[in-house]
Structure 1
């Protein structure tokens, strides 16, 4: 039974990685395509390449993330918690993709693990330890801080950048910043790979620990490869519904503001992944930066109702996936004799 549930967790992890890449490719390609800096095909290929590189390079950080994240109970109980959390996060991600709403896969996953752990405790099994700290540092604080920082910083950075370009012809400015946006798009994709690749690998390390197949001190090569490849494959399919929301519906954006938004977002992702070892949502960061840069123009055209809907669903995401995982864990508990 342990092997069967572990195999289920691996399949769900692969699905989660695919959906993650499929949905989050919009953070890299939406603005570059919107401003005609890149064609859709080139943008997706560029994002896939840098996602792959970032995810592979993040493998070394996955062990530290797994050790400082949550502690799962050993055996089938821990595996079913992971399975329920992943399944709930996947379902929520597909639902929001269908609605064209950008949202965080990380927040969905942590909410799912919390809900499944609670259900396990309710039926008399072992729960997840350290989840309160995880929710605080990986859901509440990033949810509250990273979008605010990205919005304010992008808004303010537009001032010096537009001042520096004040004497150039608009056509020259657009041409130069379209070229720079190609670099910014690749940087965001690389940052996304660094951030999300390590978390998917960390989930698999937790599963190996729960199943007793590893001591958690090292990362098997197949785990790193599975995470990186599935994120990349998902990226290649391109989630254009969310790209349309970020690039066309959210606010009016030009190449200059696109570079500001994506450039600062990439910097924040790098600092979070490499410097602070702090998980940040690529989607929240980029979406907020786009809004901030878009607001700093004479005729701001942000879609207020859409922004309100997105923010509401960001807040709802952990609760929704927790509820879904709670139900799934209750359904799975008879399989392990709880």
Structure 2
């Protein structure tokens, strides 16, 4: 009975984390469309919530990576304590970043939480999996975001160099309706699966299942939680991305959304790697801005964001280790 109660606590914590993930990542899925005035907030938020919900049903490769590649499952109550602590550490960091209005990565917070809680327990961290399935994608995805954002924006500037700015803006406002929906779909495909992976790992830990297949109820509940968070909106982070990093017009917004959508699809469906859509979007905004000129980007703001990125994994790890110690002390 106690083990079942602990499992329920982990599932609830996972859904709370998914909500904070949606609350946090809603900012980057719709900020470019709102900042460019292609969509109103009241159109962009329901669109993002719906497409995030749909994206959660399109695959489970990232969920399997989270469940299998990062830490060894620890059987019984201690394993559930590790997962509960990891989720608490990640959720606390998400809420702190949201409060500060900083576009931090919920994915990196979750992995940091898993590492911190596992190291505080008798568990083993699969460092080979952390390197290939987390650290490498963590570095590659933002670089790809910058490069694709830069190249797509450069192509737009060249193709429409003889077209009036008003006509270009009008055309890309329409195009952003499609690219914004695609970006939200990719967000659901990536981020909802991270919650699924944790819940499946909890089910394996207590012996409810022996493989890492994702049950339908896990897909539905994770998708609903992250979509609810997305529908709530992350206005603090939107102000940072939409106004403080670089000016966003419809053409630039389309370039960012197209770049990030392509990277989310590639990493989710082909690589099965948990990457940060927040970092990728921020880098794509910088890349699209530098396609015009370097002065388009507020580099001091971007440097502050990068510093926050670097704190995510160690901070979430420390919080998770403390939560694990508290859980062990009490129970």
Question: Match for residue 124 of structure 2?
Answer: 128
1:238 is aligned, of 233, 239, 247, to: 233
Structure 1 runs, 4 residues or longer, greater than 4 Å off: none
Asked if 2 retains the 8 angstrom alpha-carbon contact of 1:58 and 1:193, the reply is: no
| Structure 1 residues 195-214: aligned runs within 5 Å | 195-214=190-209
Q: Against the structure 1 CA distance between its residues 118 and 63, is the aligned structure 2 distance closer, same or farther, given a 3 Å change threshold? A: closer
Question: Match for residue 123 of structure 1?
Answer: none
- Counterpart Cα distance in 2 of 1:56 and 1:188: 15
SS of 2:56's equivalent in the other structure is: helix
Q: Against the structure 1 CA distance between its residues 18 and 74, is the aligned structure 2 distance closer, same or farther, given a 3 Å change threshold? A: same
Question: Match for residue 165 of structure 2?
Answer: 170
- Counterpart Cα distance in 2 of 1:40 and 1:19: 19
Question: CA shift at 1:318, angstroms?
Answer: 0.4
Question: Match for residue 118 of structure 2?
Answer: 117
1:224 is aligned, of 219, 228, 237, to: 219
Question: CA shift at 1:61, angstroms?
Answer: 5.7
Q: Against the structure 1 CA distance between its residues 210 and 35, is the aligned structure 2 distance closer, same or farther, given a 3 Å change threshold? A: same
Question: Match for residue 69 of structure 2?
Answer: 68
| Structure 1 residues 150-165: aligned runs within 5 Å | 150-165=145-160
Matched positions, count: 330
2:297 pairs with 1:302: yes
Question: CA RMSD of the aligned region, Å?
Answer: 1.6
SS of 1:145's equivalent in the other structure is: helix
- Counterpart Cα distance in 1 of 2:257 and 2:46: 17
Q: Against the structure 1 CA distance between its residues 6 and 319, is the aligned structure 2 distance closer, same or farther, given a 3 Å change threshold? A: same
Question: Match for residue 8 of structure 1?
Answer: 9
Question: Match for residue 57 of structure 1?
Answer: 58
Asked if 1 retains the 8 angstrom alpha-carbon contact of 2:186 and 2:264, the reply is: yes
- Counterpart Cα distance in 2 of 1:335 and 1:89: 21
Question: TM-score, normalised on structure 1?
Answer: 0.93
